Amino acid sequence: MSEGRNVKILITGGCGYIGSHTILRLLEAGHDITVIDNLTNSLPESLLRVEKLTGREVSFVEGDIADTSCLQKIFDQGNIEAVIHFAGFKAVGESVAQPLSYYRNNVSGTLNLLETMDAYGIRNLVFSSSATVYGTNPDMPLKEDLPLQATNPYGRTKQHVEQILTDLQAADARWRIALLRYFNPVGAHPSGLIGEDPQGPPNNLFPFVTQVAVGHRDRVHVFGNDYVTPDGTGVRDYIHVMDLAAGHAAALNFLAEHQGLHTWNLGTGRGYSVLEIIQAFEAASGTTIPYELVDRRPGDAPISLADPSRALYDLGWKASETLEDMCADAWRWQQNNPDGYRTKTSLPGEGPPC
């Protein structure tokens, strides 16, 4: 796969928040996209909107990466040269309550994907990992070579898959693999047509704030204000989802020219507290966000910050969107779509479900 050449890419979980924004970026770069998504946590409407924004079609297959015959049908159609693997459950709290379904879906599903890719000679992979693999390591900013110590089943599924991919690439150098560790993805495409659409009560801060702003929730519960941080509330490295999408495109281009397995933090290196986020969102949206200080959420680290210097050095990638952009774009999406992607629309290019 040579850099800059348009290739056909399979995106697992492509109907989701980060997947849909990454697909938009890849279509704009001229690549051809096929999506497999089981729609447990997303709606295909997101792809219809991506098609509308880009004027290009996406081939969509409703299916599960655990379904070998479904993957074979996609690969039999030929020309897939790389896979970006987003599909997976991602709620920390839910993973504590249902560890088996997380290991089954996130780890066994990935094993099936890898075995089928290998059988078809497809060995370029970008994997959606997470800063959660660092656990509560206090050494800020977090660097890629720190020991991994995930503290919850969700984070451990990411850590296990990273280890599986490391062993796979060590055993067979034909594999070219990028492990992308996301910090806190937020915001939306500036059009306001695509964005984050959590199914059920949001686990994360940003979608909770936007749902308060649009009147779906009455207040934000601030989880703890007794941390050793400037205002006592948790500090995180929030990164605009469009910067994250650009990071995926850069990693894909890098794999076209470089062998091996590579790990990159995708963050900004700048942290903001919960109260700073609320204030920034109020300023960007002109809304008032009521909040209540409550107890800490178990397992939360006081601070999580990326050292993104390796991605700058290797990929020439650096986040550029500001906190104001993140808030304004998130608000535009939520204001235009108070109920997210609630209408199911048939998709051009939609094959029959597997």
Residues with a catalytic annotation lie at: 154
Which residues have a Cβ under 8 Å from the Cβ of 235 and sit 6 or more positions away?
227, 229, 271, 272, 273, 302, 303, 304, 305
**Alpha-carbon gap, residue 81 to 87, rounded angstroms:** 18
Helical axes 205-213 vs 274-285, angle rounded to 10°: 40
Q: What Rg do the C-alpha atoms of the chain give, in angstroms?
A: 19
Q: Which is nearest to 117 in space by CA: 47, 62, 165, 166?
A: 165
Tell me, residue by residue from 312 to 341, as one string, x for binding to ligand WQD by CB under 6 A and - for no binding: ------------------------------
Cβ of residue 15: shortest distance to ligand WQD, in angstroms? 17
Applying CB under 6 A, which of residues 73, 143, 221, 310 lies at the interface with ligand WQD?
A: 221
CA 90 to chain centre: 9
Q: Is 266 among the residues that bind ligand WQD (CB under 6 A)?
A: no
Q: Which is nearest to 332 in space by CA: 218, 197, 198, 194?
A: 194
Cβ of residue 133: shortest distance to ligand WQD, in angstroms? 9
**Alpha-carbon gap, residue 281 to 208, rounded angstroms:** 12
Cβ of residue 227: shortest distance to ligand WQD, in angstroms? 8
Q: Is 182 among the residues that bind ligand WQD (CB under 6 A)?
A: yes
Question: Which positions from 24 through 83 interact with ligand WQD, judged by CB under 6 A?
Answer: none
Applying CB under 6 A, which of residues 130, 210, 265, 285 lies at the interface with ligand WQD?
A: 130
Judged by beta carbon, residue 255 or residue 306, the one nearer ligand WQD is 306
Judged by beta carbon, residue 122 or residue 135, the one nearer ligand WQD is 135
Judged by beta carbon, residue 63 or residue 185, the one nearer ligand WQD is 185
Cβ of residue 18: shortest distance to ligand WQD, in angstroms? 9
- How many Cβ atoms from other residues are within 10 Å of residue 79's Cβ? 10
Q: Is 276 among the residues that bind ligand WQD (CB under 6 A)?
A: no
Applying CB under 6 A, which of residues 36, 84, 87, 92 lies at the interface with ligand WQD?
A: 92
Question: Which positions from 200 through 219 interact with ligand WQD, judged by CB under 6 A?
Answer: 203-205, 208
**Alpha-carbon gap, residue 189 to 20, rounded angstroms:** 10
- Residue reference for tokens 């998130």: 330
Question: Is 239:305 a contact under the CB 8 Å cutoff?
Answer: no
Q: Is 143 among the residues that bind ligand WQD (CB under 6 A)?
A: no
Question: Is 300:225 a contact under the CB 8 Å cutoff?
Answer: no
- Binding residues for ligand WQD, how many (CB under 6 A)? 20
Token duo for residue 232:
């006592």
Cβ of residue 274: shortest distance to ligand WQD, in angstroms? 4
At 12 the three-state DSSP class reads strand
Judged by beta carbon, residue 36 or residue 92, the one nearer ligand WQD is 92
Cis omega before residue 141 (within 30°)? yes
**Alpha-carbon gap, residue 283 to 125, rounded angstroms:** 40
Q: Which is nearest to 10 in space by CA: 108, 100, 95, 116?
A: 116
Please tell me the total number of residues recorded for the chain in this structure: 354
Cβ of residue 244: shortest distance to ligand WQD, in angstroms? 11
Judged by beta carbon, residue 17 or residue 341, the one nearer ligand WQD is 17
Q: Is 106 among the residues that bind ligand WQD (CB under 6 A)?
A: no
Q: Is 264 among the residues that bind ligand WQD (CB under 6 A)?
A: no
Which spans of this chain sit near ligand WQD (rule: CB under 6 A)?
90, 92, 130, 132, 182, 184, 203-205, 208, 220-223, 234, 236, 274, 297, 300, 304
